[in-house]
Structure 1
Amino acid sequence: MSARTTRFLASLVLILATVAQAGTPVDNARIWPATDHTRLVLETGDSVEHRLFALESPRRLVIDVEQADLETNLGTLNLDDTPIRQIRTGRRQNGDLRVVLDMKEDVEPRSFLLRPNEQYGHRLVVDLMDLDNTRDQEQKAVLEDQSESKRRDVIVVVDAGHGGEDPGAIGPSGTQEKEVTMALSQRMVERIDAMEGFQAYLTRKDDYYIGLRKRTEIARDYNADLFVSVHADAFRSPQPRGASVYALSTDGASSETARWLAESENSADLIGGVGGVSLKDKDEMLAGVLLDLSMTASIEYSMGVGSNVLDQLDSVGKLHKSSVEQAGFAVLKSPDIPSILVEAGFISNPTDEQKLTRAGHQKRIVDAMVDGIDRHFRSSPPPGTLIAHRQRNGGEEREYEIRRGDTLSAIARRNQVSVQKLKTVNDLNGETLHIGEVISIPSS
């Protein structure tokens, strides 16, 4: 055997040994600072085994990833507004990848794996939960204010759909739904906060993901009178366009589009993690009865709010549907809080996508949504609120112009008044209405 042949075989053995020992690649990383936690995401070429543990003096968190190769630079991650001082990496003698987080403060660490979806491959997620949660302090202050005041504000919790790991739908020009929903939601909170008798809060305040159930938990922690989830979703074809409003359905979707959108939204937790609501302290049958009763009342009230919002959105532009639709949206499944989901438009439609990125159109959408919410609570204020107090001491009536498709019973339902009261106030003998006719809506 020649020397050249010997060298070739030796090189081949070395290459094969290197390939055989190659580990699962960690080829990308992201970090998302949230209100109550920081999320570190490591993208891996396949599912991995890992171990997470803490060390003291100095304070560190250690992530050991079995047989993994680091193929990205973790040093480029922006650690501002996170509890992490720096990230160091190395390789253990057994071949495992070690990632060390030098911490500025104590946190409660959690880790889990996420399977591939349409946007991402395998991911190892590490959540660093804050021990000193500023949101908890804010929520406590709200509840104390409500308990001490007989003329409290109406509390609206606004949910900017998607975020962080979950971009939501992506338009033909690359616009991400999470960016549109954040812009609309921030405008909405600013507008509501400027109104006397109202106070609004965001479920997420920046670009990070919150589980669907967690969003409704946040609304419950604020003792919200209304939960509004803001979206700009996509359909499987570019034709659908226009705004629409949805409430929860326990009996199936009201249309194919509603079913499609609900399935799409409900899959979001596959991207960012899940949460849950517990009734484990209740007898199973009693819990079922309580849920059925409260859910029925909540859905009915939600339909009333949604109808008022949809009436106002009709003045902004084309509606996708002229009535409130219903489907099994997981984010709306709060039995004790009226909840609606507003699709500001279809980001999959080129015309809607272009409009949704314009500040002027965003303002018109937000003004319409807030005007609808304001109109609803003026006609049906929650007990104990400043609005209810003022109406008891003066009462309010407003005018409404009849539109195509209106019925007296539908108008009564969405304004939380009886059909008989509408007839009495407007001197109506029957239930026939005429388009363009103006009637008075009494306070409920």
Structure 2
Amino acid sequence: MNKNVVAYKVVSSILALFVSLTAYAQAQSNITDIRISPSNDNTRIVVDISQQTSFSYFNLKSPRRLVVDLKDTDRKFNFSKVENSSDLIKKIRYSTPKLASDMRMVIELNKDINAQLFSLEPNADFGYRIVIDLKDPNPAPVVTSTAAPKRDKDIIIVIDAGHGGVDPGSIGPKGTYEKNITLSISKMLEKRINEEPGLRAVMTRHGDYYISPNDRPDFATKENADLLVSIHADAFTTPQPRGGSVWVLSKGRADSELGRLLERTERNSELLGSAADVIGDRDTERYFAETIFNMSMDLSRASSYDISNKVIKEMRKVTRMHKKVPQSASLAVLTAPETPSILVEVGFISNPQEEKNLNWRAYRQQLADSLFKSIQLFFRNAPPEGTLWAQERDSQPRKHRVKSGESLSLLAQRYNVDLHSLREVNNIKGDLVRIGQTLTIPEN
């Protein structure tokens, strides 16, 4: 055979192999980032990949592992750089796949889990993603005490900055993330609250990380909080809607949450505290538990509605309101059993003008100030017993504004005070008083 022909065939074969390898390399996807977001009883792993690929997974025991096979994916990503604060995950590493072109990812686990995997199509902000949800079927029980919690002298406000981490919330026309706006306003409100003697703020999150909506009310329960305020920014499919709104829990959702709470409680006496000592019959015990909790949640809803009206009144001085009265909805974040809870939508981030406003620091500060003023007005008028503000209220002289038909002797009888003392403290000689006159009521 002619040497030139042989050489040509060899070169052609090499070129064909090179083209094949190049095409193979180009066809492979690669992992660009991995984020682990733990919450109370589950952990979410988000795997960012350069292009869409198929995957499969299976569980192994002894030791516990979740094995994920990604088709046509390289093995260049450094798992050691992934931040992991989950109690469910020991570490993530590589293993040998069935096919050399595939990648096998092994998630070493600390306990048995239920796994769910799904992929997400790319959008304007994220590329292809594979989401791995690890659910703990037997989470550690929450330790409860039958003793009544000690009353903190501060009025405790839990501030919940909506969304966070892998959940950006709504995204404005210019790319503004709701999670960043809500965190900024929340920190401003936290500062105002903590500067006021007698008030203390607790944040559900201080940074950009994910917390499940179902876990956020736990902060209020754990802190024995007096109020939970969840801050969000609304969005709609069209840019026209604008304005703020305030939401409270609908009665139907609250009742169902109560039912689930009672079912999760092994003994209803845990809900009754010392009252259970005098209740022997379990049916009677359950009846009392349901009655007490229904009364408690009705009171919380009433307080939530009252605070909401004050928030609307103050926010109206800063921005227009999309809803002029409090709205009710089935929102998980509002389900803390005994804590008044409201969700405040500070505006429509989908509206270009409101997105621009929300990116203005001074405007966010005005919104935070309006929320603070609402909280201040509510708790000055009705401070929880045992708090510093309640002590300050009780130390102030009682006042009474005279109405038609009232006399000094009648008021002395009503307030159970000495008539002479009532005259003396108000510098009154006889028994006549004027309608609209403000009287100081002396101590008994």
- What TM bracket, shorter-length normalisation? 0.5 to 0.7
Q: Could you say what secondary structure the match of 2:214 adopts?
A: helix
1:95-114 matched pairs, under 5 angstroms: 97-99=103-105, 112-114=115-117
Contact 1:27 1:45 in 2 (8 A): no
State the AA in 2 paired with 1:169.
S
1:61-80 matched pairs, under 5 angstroms: 63-66=66-69, 68-71=71-74, 73-75=76-78, 78-79=81-82
Q: Which of 121, 132, 135 is the aligned partner of 1:124?
A: 132
Aligned length: 349
Contact 1:146 1:152 in 2 (8 A): no
Per the alignment, residue 183 of structure 1 pairs with 184
State the AA in 1 paired with 2:322.
H
The structural deviation recorded for 1:207 is: 1.5
How has the CA–CA distance of structure 1 residues 383 and 358 changed in structure 2, closer, same or farther, with 3 Å as cutoff?
same
Contact 1:40 1:127 in 2 (8 A): no
The structural deviation recorded for 1:225 is: 0.9
Q: Could you say what secondary structure the match of 1:373 adopts?
A: helix
Which digits, 9 at most, give the CA deviation of each residue in 1:378-436, with x for residues without a partner?
11111111111111111689xxxxxxxxxxxxxxxxxxxxxxxxxxxx968xxxxxxxx
Contact 1:33 1:208 in 2 (8 A): yes
Q: Structure 2 CA distance, aligned partners of 1:46 and 1:427?
A: 81
Contact 1:91 1:97 in 2 (8 A): yes
Q: Could you say what secondary structure the match of 1:279 adopts?
A: helix
State the AA in 2 paired with 1:207.
D
Contact 1:160 1:178 in 2 (8 A): yes
Q: Structure 2 CA distance, aligned partners of 1:33 and 1:54?
A: 25
Per the alignment, residue 322 of structure 1 pairs with 324
Per the alignment, residue 92 of structure 1 pairs with 97
Residue 56 of structure 2 is aligned to residue 48 of structure 1: yes
How has the CA–CA distance of structure 1 residues 288 and 117 changed in structure 2, closer, same or farther, with 3 Å as cutoff?
farther
State the AA in 2 paired with 1:246.
W
Per the alignment, residue 403 of structure 1 pairs with none
The gaps in structure 1 that reach 5 residues or longer are 56-60, 253-275, 398-425, 429-438, 440-444
Per the alignment, residue 335 of structure 1 pairs with 337
How has the CA–CA distance of structure 1 residues 181 and 351 changed in structure 2, closer, same or farther, with 3 Å as cutoff?
same
Q: Which of 268, 272, 280 is the aligned partner of 2:264?
A: 280
The structural deviation recorded for 1:348 is: 0.5
Per the alignment, residue 373 of structure 1 pairs with 375
Q: Structure 1 CA distance, aligned partners of 2:398 and 2:98?
A: 77
Which digits, 9 at most, give the CA deviation of each residue in 1:19-57, with x for residues without a partner?
9xx99x6755432466889753225745632336686xx
The structural deviation recorded for 1:187 is: 1.8
How large is the RMSD of aligned CA atoms in angstroms?
A: 4.6
Q: Structure 1 CA distance, aligned partners of 2:315 and 2:376?
A: 13
Per the alignment, residue 308 of structure 1 pairs with 310
Contact 2:31 2:77 in 1 (8 A): no
The structural deviation recorded for 1:367 is: 0.8
Q: Structure 2 CA distance, aligned partners of 1:54 and 1:357?
A: 52
Q: Structure 2 CA distance, aligned partners of 1:184 and 1:206?
A: 13
The structure number with the bigger radius of gyration is: 2
The gaps in structure 2 that reach 5 residues or longer are 1-5, 254-259, 269-281, 400-433, 439-444
The structural deviation recorded for 1:108 is: 6.2
Contact 1:75 1:87 in 2 (8 A): no
Q: Could you say what secondary structure the match of 1:246 adopts?
A: strand
How has the CA–CA distance of structure 1 residues 395 and 174 changed in structure 2, closer, same or farther, with 3 Å as cutoff?
farther
Contact 2:70 2:104 in 1 (8 A): no
Per the alignment, residue 295 of structure 2 pairs with 293
Q: Structure 2 CA distance, aligned partners of 1:322 and 1:29?
A: 44
Contact 1:248 1:329 in 2 (8 A): yes
Q: Structure 1 CA distance, aligned partners of 2:83 and 2:376?
A: 38
Residue 39 of structure 2 is aligned to residue 31 of structure 1: no
Contact 1:63 1:98 in 2 (8 A): no
Per the alignment, residue 347 of structure 2 pairs with 345
1:244-255 matched pairs, under 5 angstroms: 244-250=245-251
How has the CA–CA distance of structure 1 residues 207 and 107 changed in structure 2, closer, same or farther, with 3 Å as cutoff?
farther
State the AA in 2 paired with 1:203.
T
State the AA in 1 paired with 2:323.
K
Q: Structure 2 CA distance, aligned partners of 1:117 and 1:288?
A: 43
